[in-house]
Every structure is written in structure tokens, then in C-alpha cells.
Amino acid sequence: MSFPEITVLDRGFVRLIDHMGTDLTVVNAARVSFGKRKEAFEPKDAELVDYLAEHEHTAPFRHAYLTFHVKAPIFVFRQWMKHRIASDFNEISGRYVEFKEDEYFVPESFRLQAKVNKQGSEGELPEANRSAAREAYLTACQNSVAQYKQMIDLGVCREQARCVLPLGLYSEVYWTASLQAVAHFLHLRLDAHAQWEIRQFALAIKELTEPLFPNSLSALMKAPTT
């Protein structure tokens, strides 16, 4: 079975594995308060969806769920896994599998440290420093993986050998989240203050979610909070 997939960064991807519900699910979850249920989504139902999101009546949005298979660098997942409410993760385990030699993220360019935002970046590294920065980055990643492989060959267990691997190493997770949780993730990770790399994954999540819940996601993204 093939699943919708978007390539992200140099070796990553976001793949839609499964989903539960539609915009009609949100509408019916709200209307059950009045003992009512609809069989089809109508134009006026979009107004109800907008009202729910605008006034933060978010429970109906938590009856719809999506499951994604994501391959991303570990430093991206460090940020992503802060989104725990109404969502869950299962990650590939370095205790069970041996990581490949070249499965680490290599940036196309290097950014400067932001002068005002201590946790952010801005612009691009001066051309005079780019080659040296790339060489330092690749050397560090290659050496880490080489030492990891050497320890495996020496008989060191995988769960200890993996400790030397870089944060740029790619990992894989299944992420299942409610529609509200997905929208909350997008609100934060599409923001200009979010790290560029995770913003690329957020764009892919949004692209795969919009066709399934066009009215609900639009309403949640317009709302001041989710």
C-alpha cells in the first residue's frame, strides 16, 4: 500500500499513514450536545466550525486524528516531542537496530547566530567561512559514526555505542495526534521564530492535513489560540 509522502530536507520525509474523521466528525461531535447528527457536511456547517475555533470550543476537534510516519534529524524530534498533549510517539530504537553510516543531516548552508534572539539564527555564514564550517561539520559527523561502528565491531552493545552519535542523526517516528494537536503544532512550528528545519516538516504536515480537514484546519489556524 502506498501512502502520501513529502520529502523534507536531504534525507527526511513525512508520510501520512492513517487518519480518523472528517470535517463532519467535528460538526457531529459539537451537535451531539443537542442530540443531533448530520450525514453530510453542508456550507453552513463551516460557520459552526469557525465559531468553535474562534471561541476555543476545541473538544470537537479532538475527535479527529491523524498518524504520520516521519523521518527527521534527532534535534528536530527534540523540539517536536515537546508536543505531547493529545499526541503520541513511537520511535525507532538504537537498542534494536544498527544505524547506517551516512544517515545524518547535512545542511545546504550554515546560518549566523542571531544578535537579538539568543536561541535563533539569521542570515548566512560569510563565504570565507563556509568551506571550513562544512568540513568541521562533516568531520564531526563522520568521526562520530566511525567510532560508533568501531565500538559495535568490538562487541559493545548497541544501547551504549549509540551514545556517541550526533544530534544530526536521522531517526524515525510514528506520530499520532488529534486534529487540534496538529493545528497547535503548526501554529508554533510555522512561526518565523521556529527553527528553519522544523518549519520544513511543519509545512509538510500542513500540506498532508489540509485536504482531509479543509474547513477545520483553516478555522483552527485562524483562531488566536488552539
Residues 69 and 140 in one domain: no
Average pLDDT, the chain: 94
Distance CA(31)–CA(99), nearest Å, equals 49
Residues 22 and 133 in one domain: no
Report if residue 98 sits inside a domain.
Answer: no
Would you say 192 and 173 are in contact if contact means Cβ atoms under 8 Å apart? no
Residues 194 and 176 in one domain: yes
- Within 10 Å of residue 159's Cβ, how many Cβ atoms? 11
Residues marked as catalytic: 189
Question: Can you list the pairs that 113-117 forms with residues at least 24 positions away whose Cβ atoms lie under 8 Å?
Answer: 117/193
Q: What is the CA radius of gyration of the chain?
A: 21
Q: What is the mean pLDDT of residues 46-72?
A: 96
Q: What is the mean pLDDT of residues 145-156?
A: 96
Report if residue 118 sits inside a domain.
Answer: no
Distance CA(137)–CA(135), nearest Å, equals 5
Residues 189 and 85 in one domain: yes
What is the reported pLDDT for 180? Answer: 96
Residues 12 and 83 in one domain: yes
The tens digit of pLDDT for each residue in 7-58 reads: 999 999 999 999 999 999 999 999 998 888 999 999 999 999 999 999 999 9
Residues 208 and 142 in one domain: no
Residues 64 and 16 in one domain: yes
Report if residue 119 sits inside a domain.
Answer: no
Residues 44 and 88 in one domain: yes
Residues 186 and 139 in one domain: no
Would you say 54 and 42 are in contact if contact means Cβ atoms under 8 Å apart? no
Distance CA(169)–CA(48), nearest Å, equals 44
**pTM across the whole model:** 0.94
Report if residue 100 sits inside a domain.
Answer: no
57 is in which domain, residue-wise?
A: 5-93+172-222
